[in-house]
Structure 1
Amino acid sequence: MATLELLSGPITFSEAIQRRTNVVHQLEYPRLQRAFFQRLQNDRHLIQNIVAHHLGADPKNCDVLSPEHWRHGSFNVCVPVRVDSPDPGLPISVMVRFPLPYRVGEGTHPGNADEKLRCEAATYAWLQEHCPSVPIPHLYGLGLATGQQLTHVDHLPWWSRWSHGFQRRFRTLLGYQRPTRYIPHNSSVLSTLGLGYLVIETIPDTEGSMLSNSWEDKRGDDRLQSNLKRGLARILLSLAAIPLPRIGAFRLDDAGYVHLDNRPLNAEIIMQENEGFPIIIPRDQTYTRADDFILATLDAFHNRLLHQPNAMSDEFSGQFELAAILAARGVLPPMLQKDLRSGPFVCSLTNLHRSNIIVDDDWNITRIIDLEFACSWPIEFQHPPYWLGGQRADVLDDISFDPHHNQFVRILEELEEQGEFPAIRSPRKLSAIMRYTWASGTFWLTLGLQNPMMFATTFWFGILAVHLGLRIEYTNDFTMLANLSGASDFMDARLQENDEYSRTLHRIFTRNTV
C-alpha cells in the first residue's frame, strides 16, 4: 500500500489509522501548501511594496528571499525580506508573516485569519505599552484581508509622529483610552494582494538562538537552567503585575486601539473550525469567571467528539473520553480558589515552547517570539512551562517535575522579595498561588485543558487518582458516566462514523498505490 505525504513527512496507512487526528483532512494540506506558496511567489513584487510601505523605504531596496529561506510552522509562514538601504535607521531584514488559510479555517469560517492577526498584533501593542521589559520583536506594521493597514508611528513622517503623540497625551489628560503606536496607514497594494500579514523584526544571530537548538545537549546544566528559569520568572511577574478584567484575547481595531473583547483564541478552536466544525465559541465571547471558562473549554472538547469522524475508535475509548468530560464538569470548577474565580486575570503567553524562546550562550532570554494565541487567563493558570523537566506533556509526572517547579517558585520568591516588580493585585503573591496550585492539582487541570488529546488521561490518572485520591473502577465507572448522558445512541453513531472514516482512509491509500 502507498506511502503518502503529510506536512510532517511521509505516513503509511498503518500509521495513519492509529492517529487521533483527522488524517483524511490533513492529506490535503501538502497540495494546499504548494498552491499557497506559489501564490506568494507570484506576488513577490507586492510583498516588496508592502515592506517598503511600512518601513518608508524604496521598494527597489527590498528583496524577497526564495522559498528555501521561508520558515513555516503549524499556522503561519514567514517570508524573509532583505532590506538594502543607505538609511541606517532601517533594518537589514524583516519577516512578513502570513497565516496559512488552509490551517486557520479561512475557507470554512471566513475572517479567521484576520481575527488571528488582530489578536496577535494587539498583543504586541499591549506588551509594548504595559510590559516593555518583556523582550519581544518589533512589529513594524500589519495588514488585513479587509484592506486595512496600520504602521508603527516610528516609521512615519515627523508630522504624523507629532500629531499622534499629541493625541495620546491629550486623551490621557482627559482620562480617555489612548491609541496604540500603530496608526492607520493604507496603500492600494494590499487590496491587490488580498491577504493579511504582520511585518516583524528579524532577530539577528548575535542575539542568540532558539532554546530548542541547545536544549537536549545542555538541559542538565544547573547554571543554565537557573538563568532560564529566572528569565521566565521575570516575564511571568511582569505580566502578572497588570490585572485584566476578563478572560479573552486582545483585539486591535482599525483605528489602532486595543480592546480585550475577543474570544480566548487557541489552537483547538482554530483546528476545529478549520475542519468545518460549527462555531462553539463566538468571536466576541469573553468570560468574567474562571469556572465559566473551564466549562466552555470542556464544551469545545465535547464538540470535537461530536464532529471529528475518528474521535472514537472503539466503545471503551469513547466512554473513556466522554465520561472524562462529563465528570470534569462537576470536578474541575470547585478546584479553583473561590477568591480568584472572578480575577485577577493576567496576560498569558500560551505558546511559550522552546522554539519560541531566543537565548544567549548562558541561556539568558533575549527574545520571546511568536505571540499567537496569547490570552488573558486566570492567575491560577500561571505555571512554569511543563517542558522544563525534559518530559513530554503526556508522560509528565509529579515526582520528576517537582524539583523544577520548586526551583522556579523559589526564584519567583526571590524576585518578589527584591521588589523589582509591582505587586500583583490579588490576595496572595504569585509564588504563593503557584505553590497552592501545584499542591492542589490545579497545575494538571491547566495542562489538561490545553490539549484535548491528553485531557481524559490527565483527568482520570492525574487529577482524580493522584490529587483527589479517588479510586476509579475504570470500566464500570466510564460506562455508568457515559450512559448518564444517554450516550448509547451517540456512541453508536460515532462508531459508525469512525468505520466510514477508516474505509475512506483505506480507499485513499489504495487509490494511490502503484
Structure 2
Amino acid sequence: MNHNTLFLSTCFDTIEESNSDDQARVWIRKASDAKIDLARFVADRRGKGRATEVVGFLKGSFNLGFRIRFEDDGPDAIIRFPKPGHISTVFLEEKLINEVRAIEYIRQNTTIPVPFIHSWGLANESPQQLGPFIIMDFVEGTLASRILQKPTDDEQQEIMLNPDLDSFVLDKFYRQAAGYLLQLSRLEFKRIGAISKELGDGGWSSSRRPLTYNMNELATSAGYPTDDFPTASFAHASDFFKHVAHEHLTHLHTQRNLAASPEVARARYIARHRYLQLVDHYCSAEDDAGPFIPFCDDFRPANMLVNPKTLEITAVLDWEFTNAMPAQFSYDPPWWLLLADPGSWVDRNAVQDFRDLYEPRMEQFLRALEAVEGEERWDDRGHDRRLSVRMRRSWETGRFWFNFASRKSYDVDTIYWRVLHDGGDAAELLDPEVRAEMDAEVEKMTQLREYREECAVRFPVEKVNERE
C-alpha cells in the first residue's frame, strides 16, 4: 500500500468546529453591541483623554479587537478579547495571562518592538462580562506579509511569497527578523512551561504548564478531553516530546471522523506510534535538561507590522501560546520563509516543490543571520553553537520536520509518511504489543455510524445547500 496516495490531510470534526463557530458568532454579536461601553471602559483604564469613537474592528483567528480613538494627541488604543469558541473556554484566561507575561518579558529582555500594554484583566473585570481583555496602544504599519506576498485577486487563495520580490526588500526584512530570533535564542529558562512572574521577588520563571497552539486546536476541533492535557511544566525535553506523542495518540482515539477507511486508520495508527519511537532519535540529548528558550508558534510576517516606506518593523504582534520550549524549536530555520504553512505542501504531496522553493530562501535568511552574528564580536560561543549553524543542521538532519510534526497533531501523519519515513515496512518497526493491538484499534476508528447520523441531523442536505 502506498501511504503517499492516501487522504491523510487535516480533517476537523465538523460538529466540534460548527459548535465553536456558533459560540464565536453569538459572542461577537454581544461584543459588537457593547462598543459604547467598551470605549468608555478603555478611556477609564487608559487614564487620560475622553474616547471619541470606535474606529473599527481587528478580527483575527483567535481574537477580536476594537480600535478606539481619543480626544488627546495620544495614539489610538485597542481592547482585544480572545474569542470563545475559537479559543477553548477552558483556556480563555490562561491564554491571555500567558500572552501578557510573554509581552512584558520580551519588552524587558529584548529590543523586539511589542505594543505597550496599558491594562489587562479577567472576565469579571470586563464590561458586560465579555471576557478577559488586553488594552494596548494601536501601532501604525502595514502587515509584512502584504508586502512580501505574491499579488492575487482571490482572497481565498493561499498566501505565497512573491517570487519577483526585490532581493533588497527580503534582505532587509530577514535581517531584522534574524536579529529578533537571535535575541530570543539567548534567553534561558529552567523548565518547559508558560513564562510567568514569581510572587515575591518578581523574577521570571516557567514553572506553569505550557499552553500550546496544538492544545487549543485539539480542544476546539477534535473533541479532545481537556483533562488529559499536561498540568505542570517539564524538566526535560524528552518528557515533553513523549507527552506530545501521547497527545497525538489520544487525538487518534478521540476524534470520531479522523479515519474514513481502514487504510487511513492503519496509516494514522502506524505514523503516530512511529512518532513516539522517533522521539529518542530526534530529541537532542545535548539540550534535554535545558536551558529552554522562549518560542512563539505564531512569530511570522502575518503578525509583524512594518513602515511601508522604510521597511522597518514597527511591531511584532500576537505572542499567544508563547512558552519556554525545547531549545531545538528555536534552532529550526523559520518555517514561514515561503509565508505558506509547510503542512499545506505536505498535504498535497508536494514536499519536493516545497524544498526547491524553500532552500534558496533559507540560505538567504541564514546569510542575514550570519551577518547579525558577525556584528557581535563579544560573542564567545563556538562555531558549532552559532544559531545559523544549528538551523542549517536542523534542516539537513530532518529535525525541522520532526519538530513541526510535534506542534501539529493534524499534520503528523502526512509528515511521517511523506518526509520522515525512510522506506520499508513501518509496521514491522512497531513494538510487538503495538502491532498486536492495531487491528482492534483500526476497527474502532472506522465505526463512524454514530458520527455520520449526528452529522445528518445537524447538517441536512437542504441546510448545506442553503449555506452554499
The answer to whether the aligner puts 1:199 opposite 2:148 as a matched pair is no
* Contact 2:333/2:394 (<8 A) preserved: no
CA distance in 2, matches of 1:42, 1:70: 13
What is residue 39 of structure 1 aligned with on the other side?
Answer: 30
3-state SS in 2 of match to 1:229: helix
Aligned partner (choices 208, 229, 234) of residue 262 of structure 1: 208
3-state SS in 2 of match to 1:327: helix
CA 1:232–1:19 in 2, change beyond 3 Å: closer, same or farther?
Answer: closer
1:327-338 equivalent positions in 2, closer than 5 A: 327-338=274-285
Tell me how large the CA RMSD over aligned residues is: 3.0
What is residue 185 of structure 1 aligned with on the other side?
Answer: none
3-state SS in 2 of match to 1:24: helix
Q: CA deviation at 1:191?
A: 7.3
The answer to whether the aligner puts 1:216 opposite 2:195 as a matched pair is no
CA 1:19–1:324 in 2, change beyond 3 Å: closer, same or farther?
Answer: closer
1:277-297 per-residue CA deviation (whole Å, 9 max, x = no partner) reads: 222555642112212111111
Q: CA deviation at 1:316?
A: 1.2
* Contact 1:357/1:368 (<8 A) preserved: yes
CA 1:352–1:192 in 2, change beyond 3 Å: closer, same or farther?
Answer: same
Aligned partner (choices 84, 109, 118) of residue 101 of structure 1: 84
1:430-469 equivalent positions in 2, closer than 5 A: 430-465=387-422
What is residue 125 of structure 1 aligned with on the other side?
Answer: 104
CA distance in 2, matches of 1:380, 1:323: 25
3-state SS in 1 of match to 2:370: helix
2:150 maps to a residue whose letter is E
Q: How many residues align?
A: 434
* Contact 1:319/1:478 (<8 A) preserved: no
CA 1:122–1:289 in 2, change beyond 3 Å: closer, same or farther?
Answer: same
1:270-349 equivalent positions in 2, closer than 5 A: 270-274=216-220, 276-279=223-226, 282=229, 284-349=231-296
* Contact 1:51/1:62 (<8 A) preserved: no
1:20-35 equivalent positions in 2, closer than 5 A: 20-35=11-26
1:285-326 per-residue CA deviation (whole Å, 9 max, x = no partner) reads: 211221211111121111211111111111111111111111
Q: Which runs of 5+ in 1 are unaligned?
A: 1-17, 148-189, 466-470
Q: CA deviation at 1:250?
A: 1.4
Aligned partner (choices 348, 364, 376) of residue 324 of structure 2: 376
CA distance in 1, matches of 2:44, 2:169: 41
CA distance in 2, matches of 1:128, 1:425: 28
1:20 maps to a residue whose letter is C
Q: CA deviation at 1:226?
A: 1.2
What is residue 154 of structure 1 aligned with on the other side?
Answer: none
Q: CA deviation at 1:125?
A: 0.7
CA distance in 2, matches of 1:195, 1:426: 48
1:202 maps to a residue whose letter is F
What is residue 179 of structure 1 aligned with on the other side?
Answer: none
What is residue 226 of structure 1 aligned with on the other side?
Answer: 171
What is residue 51 of structure 2 aligned with on the other side?
Answer: 61
* Contact 1:52/1:62 (<8 A) preserved: no
What is residue 362 of structure 2 aligned with on the other side?
Answer: 405
1:339-397 per-residue CA deviation (whole Å, 9 max, x = no partner) reads: 12222211112102331122233644332111111121222212232231355413244
Could you state the TM-score of these two structures normalised by the residue count of structure 2?
Answer: 0.83
What is residue 7 of structure 1 aligned with on the other side?
Answer: none
* Contact 1:290/1:342 (<8 A) preserved: yes
What is residue 5 of structure 1 aligned with on the other side?
Answer: none
CA 1:257–1:273 in 2, change beyond 3 Å: closer, same or farther?
Answer: farther
1:439-486 per-residue CA deviation (whole Å, 9 max, x = no partner) reads: 211111112222222212212221233xxxxx2236x65999895261
* Contact 2:19/2:85 (<8 A) preserved: no
CA distance in 1, matches of 2:29, 2:451: 31
Q: Which runs of 5+ in 2 are unaligned?
A: 1-8, 152-161, 346-350
CA distance in 1, matches of 2:296, 2:379: 19
1:410-452 per-residue CA deviation (whole Å, 9 max, x = no partner) reads: 3222222211786679971212221221221111111222222
What is residue 161 of structure 1 aligned with on the other side?
Answer: none
CA distance in 1, matches of 2:322, 2:137: 19
CA distance in 2, matches of 1:442, 1:39: 45
* Contact 2:293/2:324 (<8 A) preserved: yes
Greater radius of gyration (CA): 1
CA 1:280–1:292 in 2, change beyond 3 Å: closer, same or farther?
Answer: farther
CA 1:481–1:73 in 2, change beyond 3 Å: closer, same or farther?
Answer: farther
Q: CA deviation at 1:224?
A: 1.5
CA 1:252–1:42 in 2, change beyond 3 Å: closer, same or farther?
Answer: farther
Aligned partner (choices 468, 472, 476) of residue 424 of structure 2: 472
2:84 maps to a residue whose letter is P
Q: CA deviation at 1:121?
A: 0.3
3-state SS in 2 of match to 1:452: coil
* Contact 2:148/2:170 (<8 A) preserved: no
* Contact 1:267/1:373 (<8 A) preserved: yes
3-state SS in 1 of match to 2:136: strand
What is residue 500 of structure 1 aligned with on the other side?
Answer: 450
Could you state the TM-score of these two structures normalised by the residue count of structure 1?
Answer: 0.76
